[in-house]
Structure 1
Amino acid sequence: MNQGLGTQLRHLIELLDGAVEQAYADAGLDYRPRYTPVMRVLAQRQSATIGQLAELAGITQPAVTQTVALMKKEGLLLVMAGAEDGRHRVVRLGRRGQALLPRLQACWKATARAADSLDAELEVPLSACLAQAIAALGHRSFAERIRHAGKKAQPTP
């Protein structure tokens, strides 16, 4: 039986995230892969608003908000009201986040090398295929494609 696109993507994420999570555990780190986009941004800049994190990490604002809340609870981040506009929350690494950073960066390098080895085994590198799919969906969303496909599937009177 052919698996649908969503099923394949979920399975791929399970395979990738499970291995990365295990690599963190093997390195003695209590850390979730979902934290990485936020940590990577904050490793490069001192602080960022939730909106800036979303833009720079390439993930949605609700996803950043949820991730930041979890990371704050674990003592990785500090979150405070913005100096210029109290409605904006400014995020920066906490002491625990700063302390983890060197070990995380070593894990990230190993993960990047593993991703490169996977790409080398594929006819079309997975990273290139994913970037192309994301760009195509940026031009025409999957929701729009579903609506269009649904109209074609309806019988004409």
Structure 2
Amino acid sequence: MTRPGLGTQLRTLLELLDGELESIYTEEGLDYRPRFTPVLRALLDESPLTVGQIAAKAGISQPAATQTLNLMLARDWVEPQADPADARRRLYAPSAKAREALPKLQAIWAATGGAARGLDAELSTPLSALLDEAIAALRARSFPQRRRDAAAALSRRPKKEKP
């Protein structure tokens, strides 16, 4: 059997982590998804915020922030507000539902952090450190650039002659 590709491995890891985390939220009676956490934490630190501000504080792309906010709006985890400085722009803040659920969420987050530290301790290299390194390396040189470099290197290899 061939080894799965990097994308397949990452999707499997995310499915294992996110799927199991989502089931924990469900068991706790919360209609909450793991992807809401960086957005909600950004809003708990400071709000109201614009989509761009949320993306920057949460460390996600603006399209990802917009998509997540739309899901959170549909489930009443955030509330939109008009921006007094620019009526075309919307600001977001945690909803009453989010503020009410905060003690339960914080308990889950604390236990999840402990579980992540336990996983790191079982690995030859802590996953969190490896992910930090991978993110930094990809920000320094994108994957498309790396693919172009690899393709160029392959094209420069001498062709093997057939016997």
Same fold (TM over 0.5): yes
Structure 1 residues without counterparts, runs of 5 or longer: none
- How far the C-alpha of 1:156 sits from its partner, in A, is 7.6
CA deviation vs aligned residue, 1:12-51 (integer Å, no higher than 9, x gap): 0011111111111121211111111111111211321100
Q: CA separation in 2, counterparts of 1:68 and 1:45?
A: 16
8 Å Cα contact 1:48-1:91 kept in structure 2: yes
Residue 120 (structure 1) aligns with: 121
Residue 19 (structure 1) aligns with: 20
Please give the per-residue CA displacement for 1:120-155, whole angstroms capped at 9, x wherever unaligned: 111110000000100011100011101111122226
Partner of 1:75: 76
Separation in structure 2 between the aligned mates of residue 46 and residue 52 of structure 1, nearest angstrom: 10
The match for 2:87 is 86
Matches within 5 A, 1:16-55: 16-55=17-56
| CA RMSD in angstroms, aligned pairs only | 1.5
Query: What residue number does 2:161 align with?
Result: none
Read off the aligned partner of 1:76 and give its amino acid letter: W
Size of the aligned set, in residue pairs, is 157
Alignment-mate amino acid for residue 42 of structure 2: V
Uncovered stretches (5+) of structure 2, i.e. residues with no partner: 159-163
| Identical-residue share of aligned pairs (%) | 50
**Greater CA drift, 124-133 or 40-49:** 40-49
Contact 2:22–2:33 under 8 Å retained in 1 = yes
Larger Rg: 2
Matched, 1:148 2:139: no
Which residue identity is paired with 2:31?
D
Provide TM-score, normalisation by structure 1.
Answer: 0.94
Within 1, Cα distance between the matches of 2:122 and 2:130?
A: 14
Segment drifting more, 87-96 vs 119-128: 87-96
* TM-score of the two chains, using structure 2 as the length reference: 0.91
| Other structure's SS at 2:86 match | coil
Bigger RCO of structures 1 and 2 (CA < 8 A, at least 6 apart): 1
Quick check: 2:51–2:66 contact (8 Å CA) kept in 1?
A: yes
User: CA 1:156–1:118 in structure 2 vs 1: closer, same or farther (change >3 Å)?
Assistant: closer
Aligned residue number for residue 101 of structure 1: 102
Output the amino acid matched with 1:66.
Q
Change (3 A) 1:72 1:154: same
- Hey, what's the Cα distance between the residues in 2 that align with 1:156 and 1:45? 54
